[in-house]
Amino acid sequence: MNGENNPLADWMKLDNAAKIYPAITGSELTGVFRITVTLASPVSLPALIKASEEVSGLFPFFSVELCRGFFWYYLEYNGKPPRIMADSGPHCQPFPRTMNGELLYRILVRGSSLSVEFFHILTDGGGALFFTKSLLNHYFIHSAGITSLPFPEVQEGPLPGSSKDLFTQHYGKGMPPPAVMPKAWHLPFRLRDAPRFMVTEFEVPAEKLSALARESGSTITEYLAATLLFVLQDIRIASGKGSPHIRVQVPFDLRRRYGVYTLRNFSLFAMPSIDIRMGLYTFEEILREVKITMHMMTDEKRIRQIISRNVSKERNPLIRIIPLFIKSPVLRMAYNRFGPSQFTSTITNMGRVTPTGPASELMLSMSVTPPPPHREIKITAGLITLGVNTVITFGSVTGNREVERGFVTKLTSAGLKVKINKTQE
């Protein structure tokens, strides 16, 4: 039975955004991202085990494994709870394809840090955050006896329709494709030796960052995207070679826009950019470009145009009938040639998390680690806010720290106090 609209059915199709991941991911480009919560005391393993078992029952469509079909990969329900593991290795490692029954998310524990890692095939940041909040609700019930839930907005669990692929519902036949963008400049830095992925976390005061963005007439996402573009421009000018187009990919969530609650992938990307042939951009000019692009790319017609392009590829009769053993290497080659050429880096904002009640005092901070970047992209960033602090995380596959240093320098010059939390290799 097709489980697209029934989370308890035997199998589900991959959603439109997930279909590319089995073909392009591997030991380095893993497609895995992480949400971490730092607690005020060491994680109670018995409480976490009980909480994970309860919450996995609320999310049956997360209890799935990736299976290989003749034409496409698909998700098969197995009913298992997630693995709980010691957090002892590098972040965002791949999920093994050859292990029968392996789910596409896992829980990791180190001291007072509780992390959940998700394969992007399963969900995006919005769905992952919903699950993590639910896990924390149940964890604090068992670890601290708290009945006043820190995240009451998720206490009912997933709503009906949470397992639907909503991209197909916003497909418009006959929509013109978006304009082809010129190739973006890439950082010229050398790759680190394997294992390459390195994570660096910075912490800034949330209210001061919000005030800084507000004074500039922008959102926090726009302000930090402009900061990243500004730093990349400096590095491109200093290098003196490569494409003149510097472009940052900025994910945005479609759930709030459409008033829907799917926990599968349902987000798109805006691509603010600058062309240095036009001259050197001031920060204010870059911020203006970012705001214009974010406004344009989050317009309803633009959204439908991008969704329609993506879904039309999936519905192409020729693509549909090609066997998977041919389709996967073709998709991988096409992605490696055209995918990373679209942008220079990525920054994603998971927003503000606001717990309530006594459990709010038991959580010190949160962070989000973006998936390891393609070797052409080299560096990406993610951020999330809990309480008074915003944690900005850079994920990198190069040993060069110019982007991180430039980013911190720009924020401190604007009056923000920046604290380095940790570096993990």
Give me the residue spans of the domains in the chain: 11-161, 180-356+370-424
What is residue 192's DSSP assignment?
P
Q: What is the mean pLDDT of residues 305-327?
A: 90
Is residue 338 predicted with pLDDT exceeding 90? Answer: no
Model pLDDT, residue 350: 97
**Contact partners, residue 258, CB within 8 Å, separation at least 6:** 166, 170
Q: Report the candidate in 127, 129, 117 with the shortest Cα–Cα distance to residue 93.
A: 117
Other beta carbons within 10 Å of 2: 11
CATH number, domain 11-161, options 3.30.559.10, 3.30.1130.10, 3.30.930.10, 3.40.1280.10: 3.30.559.10
Is residue 1 predicted with pLDDT exceeding 70? Answer: no
Spell out the long-range contacts of 95-103 with Cβ–Cβ below 8 A and sequence spacing 24 or more.
95/30, 95/32, 95/66, 95/119, 97/66, 100/65, 101/65, 102/65, 102/66, 103/62, 103/63, 103/64, 103/65, 103/78
Specify the pairing of strand 198-205 against strand 273-275. Answer: unpaired
Residue percentage of the chain with pLDDT more than 70: 98
Same fold, 11-161 and 180-356+370-424: yes
Model pLDDT, residue 9: 64
Distance, CA of 307 to CA of 22 (rounded, Å): 20
Strand partners, 111: none
Q: What is the mean pLDDT of residues 330-340?
A: 89
Model pLDDT, residue 55: 97
Average model confidence (pLDDT) for the chain? 94
Distance, CA of 363 to CA of 196 (rounded, Å): 30
Distance, CA of 148 to CA of 162 (rounded, Å): 25
Q: Report the candidate in 254, 205, 252 with the shortest Cα–Cα distance to residue 386.
A: 205
Is residue 150 predicted with pLDDT exceeding 70? Answer: yes
- Give residue-wise pLDDT tens across range 191-243: 999 889 999 999 999 999 999 999 999 999 999 999 999 999 999 999 999 99
Contact predicate 357/325, CB 8 Å = no
Alpha helices in 96-156 (DSSP H): 125-144
Q: What is the mean pLDDT of residues 335-345?
A: 92
Quick one: CATH architecture of 180-356+370-424? 2-Layer Sandwich (3.30)
